[in-house]
Amino acid sequence: MSLIIEGVVLGIMTGGIYALMASGLTLIFGVLEIINVAQGILVVLGAYFSFWLGQHFHIDLFLGLLIIMPAMFGLGVLLEWAFIRRLRWDRITLSILVTYAIALIIEGVLGFVFTTNFQELHAWYIDAAVPIFGFFVNDVYIIAFILSVVLLGALYLLVYRTSFGRRLRASMQNRTAASLVGIDVPRVQAITFGIGVSLAGAGGVAFGATNAFNPASSYDLIYRLLVIIILGGMGSLSGSLVASLVLVIIGDVVALVWSPVWSSTVFFVLLVALLLFRPQGLFGRMGGRKQ
Amino acid sequence: MNGRVPKKYLFVVGAVLCTLLLGACAGQSSTTNTSAPTGPIKIGADASLTGDASDDGKAIKQGYELWADYVNHHGGLLGHQVQMIVYDDATRPEQATLNYQKLINVDKAAFVLGPFDDAFTVNGAQVAKKYGYAFVQGTGTSPGDFTHGLTNMFSVSLSASRYMASLVNYILSLPADMRPKTAAYVTSDDGFTSAQVTPVIPQLEAGGVKTVLNKIYPAENTDLNPIAAAVAASHADVAILGTSALSECVSYLKVFKTQRYNPKILIATSGPDQGSSFTQAVGGAKGAEGILVANGGWWPTIKTYQNADFVSAFTQKYGGTADDISSDTVQAFSVGQVLQQAVNQVQSLDNAKVISALHQGTFNSLQGPVKFTSDGQNQLALPYLFQWQNGSLIPVYPQGQAQANLEYPKPAWSS
């Protein structure tokens, strides 16, 4: 029983971090209708950014977010202007190719600059832990989880309580109609992409604080993030949060209680079963978008 | 059309057939370079210089380059300078196959040496066999490596299935009241790690050590936290970790430290043998204290063939101390040593003659004496137990070669 509790607690902590990483991906799909395959490497880029700040300027890995998030936002806006905005037709298919190319370039640069040796983010509190229900949880996991909750909460407020959020949701619902009522859709898309990349960077700091990483870590990340947004419903923020928790909790509990060999298998069996009855995912909408 | 084949087509077909025939003959005759070289002798190898196994691959490259430098400073190989060529496989076994084909067919290497890890070794040995090359290697030691009928492959290192023999002997030699009562075994399904861990289970159970956890996970599994948590939750007296890379080992140790799990014996198959890379990753000497690793028989001060020269050359070329020397570097240098002795025995660069000499002879290496069984395993290799004590990785068992008593139980993690 204690193992199950430990699996659930760890799953919630880790799931929060994955929710942060996935939120940017689902937001980008919802507004721009593209699949950003580079999200995984952008998460890793955020981790390396924090690593670099720590190594050269001794900036705490969470305080460094004050630099990392604006910088990643700028990078996102630049990528959207340079590559995504040029996609006029067959956006989904071409976006996969284009963002994959971006991912390969970033991975190559990271490998060249930092080598492929595994790195870890360090802080004076990295080994501190608190006892919960008879086992210990790293302070870093708790801080990363709180960070995820705060940022996801801020994202919710942005999307549902601000005028920009109304414009963003209008663009998600119907890009053409939004444009007709005077919304600057390209500007909304650029800012949204920037927000998505910024969230990836923040997710990278949380990921790097709890995992060793190297440039190749993005491959495992992106498949998990894609599975999360499919399970949660493409374009649904609340769906990505719930799906993250479900994915990680099921994986951790199965690995702890049964066997790590079956961890991924059990999850994917459940995913397929769900999609058979609910192909739009947990919180997605049937019928697709009308343009 | 009248059914007769035009002459120009017959000419083209004939030319193609002749070309193919000439190419086949050239392929046969260029398997090994038996003519006397006029310049340096090229010796090639593949190594994972990038990718997940880059730590090990770079250490292997260091070993080969050190050996080449050493040979060149001591008269060369049959009087010729050795030119080492090492290609990167990016930790992809299929790339290793291509690299060895290139070394043999394009670079016309006189000899090829082994890469890192089992899959890469088997791939390379198969290419070498196709062209009649000897394949001396130091890291392909899993039982499965020796089941492919590769009569050209020679492993200078201790076979994986025998690595933990000293740990078992030590535990079973303890008085019953001191002997650990429970053990947890976790290993990836990698051939090298599972081959070391799996044989230990029935041996320790026969000695009264109860198995409280036994998990095997896919080698491609990147999230080890749940598995590490399960080990910690088992509170086993002995934790035996089948890790195939430093990063895996560090993942386990981080969780153990967080969960305040202090086993009496903690051993990992890979990671603690990575010298300063390991101690840096676990927070220094204190973090490494008491951790065990099985070893095929090398340490900086061991009195084996050319070891003093090797240690001196390493520290001169790469800096640091002797404790920074990775076991991969030692294995690679040993590979070179054995090849050189075989070549000197037959006084020839003919791979067929070298293969024959390797099958029959006894050789010396950094890791001790070497003599090959019919399937290429080193029957003279001895398993040792090494432990980190006060910042140094030292032999602690068997007692005849120990530099200190085995620290038992392992000290608790210091905060």
pLDDT bucket at A59, cuts 50 / 70 / 90: very high
> Which of A72-81, A86-95, B8-17 bottoms out in mean pLDDT, i.e. has the lowest?
B8-17
Looking at residue B104, what is its pLDDT? 97
For the beta carbon of residue B247, count every other beta carbon within 10 angstroms.
22
Looking at residue B49, what is its pLDDT? 92
Which residues of B are less than 8 Å from A216 in CB distance? 51-52
For residue B409, cis peptide bond before it (omega within 30 degrees of 0)? yes
Q: Judge: A136–B259 Cβ closer than 8 Å, yes or no.
A: yes
Backbone phi and psi for residue B375, each to the nearest 5 degrees, phi listed first: -100, 10
pLDDT above 60 (res A132): yes
Q: What is the mean pLDDT of chain A?
A: 86
Query: Mutate which of A117, A130, A217, A267 to test chain B, going by most B C-beta atoms within 10 A?
Result: A117
Looking at residue B205, what is its pLDDT? 96
pLDDT above 80 (res B106): yes
Crossing angle of helices B54-73 and B327-346, in 10° steps, is: 40
- How far from chain centre, in Å, is Cα B181? 32
Looking at residue A286, what is its pLDDT? 60
Q: Judge: B223–A251 Cβ closer than 8 Å, yes or no.
A: yes
Domain A2-277 listed as CATH 1.10.10: no
β-pair type (B370-371, B362-363): antiparallel
- CA–CA separation, A131 vs B334, rounded Å? 49
pLDDT bucket at B4, cuts 50 / 70 / 90: low
Looking at residue B24, what is its pLDDT? 43
* Greatest CA separation for chain B: 98
pLDDT bucket at A283, cuts 50 / 70 / 90: confident
- Residue B214 in tokens: 């036994």
Q: What's the distance, Cα to Cα, between the start and end of chain B in Å?
A: 91
Q: Judge: B233–A214 Cβ closer than 8 Å, yes or no.
A: no
Q: How far is B143 from chain A (nearest CA, A)?
A: 22
> Where do the structural domains in chain A lie, given as residue ranges?
2-277
Interface of A with B in 100-119 (CB under 8 A): 111, 115-118
Looking at residue B26, what is its pLDDT? 42
Q: How far is B293 from chain A (nearest CA, A)?
A: 21
Output the DSSP codes for A81-120: IIIITT--SSHHHHHHHHHHHHHHHHHHHHHHHH-SS-B-
pLDDT bucket at B306, cuts 50 / 70 / 90: very high
Comparing CB atoms, the residue among A129, A212, A252 nearest residue B226 is A252
pLDDT digits (tens, 9 = 90+) for A31-43: 888 889 999 999 9
Touching check for A130 and chain B: CB below 8 Å? no
Backbone phi and psi for residue B182, each to the nearest 5 degrees, phi listed first: -135, 155
pLDDT digits (tens, 9 = 90+) for B307-364: 999 999 999 999 998 888 888 999 999 999 999 999 999 999 999 999 999 999 999 9
Residue ranges and CATH numbers for the domains of chain B are: 41-159+302-371 (3.40.50.2300), 162-296+384-397 (3.40.50.2300)
Q: Which of A6-15, A139-148, A258-267, B341-350 has the highest mean pLDDT?
A: B341-350
Nearest to A212 by CA among B266, B255, B240, B241: B255
Dihedral Cα B8, B13, B19, B20, nearest 10 deg: 180
Looking at residue A231, what is its pLDDT? 86
pLDDT bucket at B8, cuts 50 / 70 / 90: low
ipTM of the complex: 0.71
Sequence-separated (6 or more) residues with CB below 8 Å from residue A88: none
Looking at residue B327, what is its pLDDT? 86
Average pLDDT rounded to a whole number, residues A159-171: 89
Sheet containing B384-389: order of strands: B210-217, B182-188, B238-242, B265-268, B292-295, B384-389, B392-397
pLDDT bucket at B65, cuts 50 / 70 / 90: very high
pLDDT bucket at A91, cuts 50 / 70 / 90: confident
Q: Give the rounded percent of residues in chain B with a pLDDT score beyond 90.
A: 64
